Homo-oligomer: A and B are copies of this chain.
Amino acid sequence: MTDTEPGLVALDWGTTGRRAWLLDAAGRILESRRSGRGLLATTEGIDAHDPAARAAAYEEALREACGDWLTAYPRVPVIACGMVGSAQGWVDSGYRTVPAPVGSGTLVRVEHRAGVLHLVPGLRIASDDAAPGDVMRGEETQLVGIIDELGPERYGEALTVVLPGTHSKWVRIEGDGRVTGFATAMSGELYGLLTRHGILARTAESSVRDDAAFARGLAAGRSRGLAAELFAARPLVLDGLLDAGSLPDYVSGVLIADEVAHLLPSTASEAVGTAPEVVLCGAPDLCRRYAEALARHGVRTTVLGEEVTAKGLWRIADRAGLLGPASGRGRQDEDVRLEGTPGR
């Protein structure tokens, strides 16, 4: 098998979308696809309590996503991360409980008519009576890709990684490669709710990109709390100090500044040393916004693109032995090899 031949079909299959990559045996992207049909679209109209109907819907969705690849390369392994491995997904692939090495956990095999799909388990912090826990699915794979992308000179340092999105994740990775904590902020979802529904949506009308309005939102006060600072966008518009079309960017600034002000100290305190730096990975426009918010706290940022998830999936497949000895890597990375049992 040479490196230009397909070696892996890799999917990032989330709640509201899915991406599929055809990778060669060295993890290079040969083809990529993106679809807005995620978990919600796949299971629409399906009885959640009928496992057979659900399995059939996912099998059909997998065929839609990459049936041609499965037919053309029937011996190429298939791996997926994301909500497809949740309790509402195809099969529950469980969670590894933190602290846990990045990329650890046993892949769960899903046998179906066209072959086998390998599901990556998520990461969790268990809730207890003192504090709520947290969960991630898909981001654990992104973290593997990020470590890989940063390369050996950064691996070994403690890292704070921020994955902006609908539900932003703030992750602490120690120098020994263990994820020791993470937190989720639903700022992106709040942004969507506020700008699509409710009084700010009615105030906003048609929006235009306005970087100054975003910066103004970033600089807004925090002392009155998020529910008051968000509402303040409306009097600014009524008083003619903010264009109605710039309201979404202002709201984005208020939300991101509040998230960063709270989660930077609580997530990054142990990982950020004398030269504070955060690794950002996500959509370019969102990463730019978080970088600007972090710069106001004196934090430098390294920005990586979302395609690191493909690299993460390849690396996990490689370590699990799915790519076979031909890939030349196999099980050499003892410290981060797949181990443990998925917990729930």
Contact = CB atoms under 8 A, between A and B. Distances in A.
Nearest to A186: B231
Given A193-B198, A225-B263, 17 more contacts: A127-B235, A127-B239, A128-B241, A129-B241, A132-B239, A133-B232, A133-B239, A134-B231, A183-B228, A186-B230, A189-B199, A190-B190, A190-B227, A190-B230, A193-B194, A223-B262, A228-B263
A131 B230 CA distance: 13
Interface in A138-194: 167, 183-187, 189-190, 192-194
Given A134-B235, A235-B134, A241-B127, A183 B262 contact: no
Contact of A193 (B197, B220, B228, B261): B197
A220 B198 CA distance: 26
Given A193-B194, A225-B259, A259-B225, A231 B127 contact: no
A262 B224 contact: yes
Contacts of A228: 183-186, 259, 262-263
Number of copies: 2
A199 B167 CA distance: 10
B236 A127 contact: yes
A233 interface: yes
A185 B225 contact: yes
Nearest to A238: B135
30 contacts: A124-B235, A127-B241, A128-B241, A131-B221, A132-B233, A132-B235, A132-B239, A132-B241, A133-B235, A134-B231, A134-B235, A135-B235, A167-B231, A185-B224, A186-B198, A186-B228, A187-B227, A190-B190, A190-B227, A197-B197, A224-B262, A225-B261, A225-B263, A226-B258, A227-B258, A227-B259, A227-B262, A228-B259, A228-B262, A228-B263
Interface residues of A, number: 51
A224 B183 contact: yes
Interface in A190-233: 190, 192-194, 197-199, 220-221, 223-228, 230-233
Contacts of A226: 225-227, 258
Contacts of A255: 227
A227 B132 contact: no
Contacts of A134: 231-232, 235
Interface in A234-293: 234-236, 238-239, 241, 255, 258-259, 261-263, 266
Contact of A224 (B198, B238, B266): B266
A2 to B, nearest CB: 44
Given A127-B236, A236-B127, A241-B129, A227 B266 contact: no
A16 to B, nearest CB: 10
